[in-house]
Amino acid sequence: MRRIPTLLEVMMSAILLVAGLYMLYEPSLNKSSNQAAILIGGAVCLSLGLITLVSAVRSILWHRHMLRHAVPNHHLDATGADHKA
């Protein structure tokens, strides 16, 4: 159930990272009048992309951790029953 939002977070972070890198690289190619605004926008996109990517990776790792510990331990119940008999 959590896989689709996490996948969307990863895709959104990739888009933001590419857009941020492009916006940081583009003003150096041509000297436009709004160069400072483009650099600030690129830095914001890059920062948001990194934050979203870190959040998505932490979410994926947390869910893997929860799934690993949610597996029932049937072998523990069987050994306990054998020792009682």
Q: What is the pTM of this model?
A: 0.67
Per-residue pLDDT reduced to its tens digit, 24-37: 888 777 777 788 88
SS3 string of the chain?
CCHHHHHHHHHHHHHHHHHHHHHHHHHHHCCCCCHHHHHHHHHHHHHHHHHHHHHHHHHHHHHHHHHHHCCCCHHHHHHHHHHHC
pLDDT at 15: 93
